[in-house]
Amino acid sequence: MYFLMSSNELILENLLERRDLNLTMLKHLDFELMMDPTEKEILDIKILQTDTVNQLKKIEQEIAFLTSKKSQNKRVYQTPFIENTMQDELGKNLIHVKQIFAKSYEGNSHIQEVIPTEISKKFQIDLKDLKHLHDFALKNPIYHNHYEQEIDGILCTVYEGDINDYWLNSIKHGSSCQPFYPTWIMSAFIMTLLAKKLGYSELVDIGSGDGRIAYCGNIVGLNSHSIEIDDVLVELQNIICTSTKQNFNPICYDALEFDYSSLNLKNPIFFIGGLAQMGGDVLATSIIDKINSIENLKKDTGIVFAGTNTKRQLSENLENGGWSSLIEKHDLKVIDTVSLPTIWTFDQDVETPYIYTEFK
Ligand SMILES: C[S@@+](CC[C@H](N)C(=O)[O-])C[C@H]1O[C@@H](n2cnc3c(N)ncnc32)[C@H](O)[C@@H]1O
């Protein structure tokens, strides 16, 4: 028996994954039909059903073609490494949408971001999750306007807002390691999907801002905690928890001082809210020391760092988004990386790399 990873095998795995996604989507559409939709919603659901069934037929044909070719091959295959995961696809498609949107944006709002309005071939997301993402933006006072726009053939909702006052508040704390700048809501969602896929069951968002990563953790089924030093931001998180009915456990505390053993964590993933050279390294070092001090925790713990691909923000090299020396120093291993749009990279051609690590 020997290992063979042909391009056909990779295509086949990708097709099987897409078939599963489409089948899941059909189940959700059935579910939506039972939820007493309006006539307009019924029409939209039926259109999506037809679209999904047509896609499924095409996928099935391609699978049949490839498997018949494969059965003629006498060699024994092992399951190949699947590079093209759902998170990769979503991430790539989101970056594409962001880059087109950023070039054409003519508004003058302080911050802006995009969420697909509906499920499509490029954004095959659980419909309930998608609704929750919009709910977060609609109920979040930092956004004052939204409108629909077709971007590269995908109907999207653009949310415009202002974080100036929150930003100012967040820098007034003595041990603040980084001011408030949010990632995109869609990016937070993709990051938490990946955390779930990697097998974590709890999420701790360190320096959580308005709580979007913990919120998304909650909707994908991770038991989430949200630690933020700024009381005004935590008040904002509490408002969002109440109005969206998603309790992602906001805690107003200096993350450098917090007692993490009080959370009784089993296999958590920590998201560090800050770039390495701008204070994030202080947060990260403190969290790693605290994880080390809790018995048996580190073997099942993940840590995610927000990196940068922009040279001017760093004196260090760009490997692992500027986190290489900390990763090396604390004996961490990189297990995945995903690049995603954030508010602070809106006007740049590069995105923010999120580096997923675990202890060796
Ligand atoms: C760059 S923002 C990230 C926000 C959020 N994680 C996101 O990705 O959208 C960093 C946040 O960390 C918070 N912060 C900074 N130092 C902190 C500390 N020592 N303890 C808790 N939160 C802190 C800031 O107030 C700010 O909201």
Residue 230 sits in a domain whose CATH number is 3.40.50.150
pLDDT tens column, 262-321:
999 999 999 999 888 788 899 999 999 999 999 989 999 999 999 987 765 445 567 899
Domain holding 76, by residue range, is 7-84
Does residue 17 line the site of ligand 1, with CB under 6 A? no
- Does 2 fall in a domain? no
Q: Is the CB of 203 under 6 A from ligand 1?
A: no
Averaged pLDDT for residues 8-19: 77
65 and 125 in a single domain? The answer is: no
Q: 280: CA distance to ligand 1 center in Å?
A: 9
Q: Would the CB of 227 count as within 6 Å of ligand 1?
A: yes
Residues 155 and 32 in one domain: no
DSSP 229: S
| Beta carbons within 8 Å of 348's beta carbon, 6+ residues apart | 310
HSE-CB of 82 using CA atoms within 13 angstroms? 16
The count of domains in the chain is 2
CA-to-CA distance for 253 and 204, rounded, in angstroms?
13
Mean pLDDT of the chain: 88
* Predicted confidence band of residue 240 (pLDDT cuts 50, 70, 90): very high
Among 65, 84, 103, give the residue marking a domain's end.
Answer: 84
Same domain (yes/no): 22, 167? no
139 lies in the same domain as 251: yes
What is the per-residue pLDDT across 277-289, written as a single tens digit (0 to 9) for each? 788 899 999 999 9
pLDDT tens string 99-138: 999 999 999 999 999 999 999 999 999 999 999 999 999 9
CB 113 within 8 A of CB 159: yes
CA distance 178 to 232: 15
Mark whether 220 and 348 lie in a shared domain.
yes
Cα 46 to ligand 1 centroid, rounded to whole Å: 43
pLDDT tier, 73 (very low <50, low <70, confident <90, very high otherwise):
very low
Write the DSSP string, 280-329.
Answer: HHHHHHHHHHHHHHSTTTGGG-EEEEE----GGG-SS--GGGGTHHHHHH
Does 220 reside within a domain?
yes
Task: Answer yes or no: are the C-beta atoms of 205 and 186 closer than 8 Å.
Answer: no
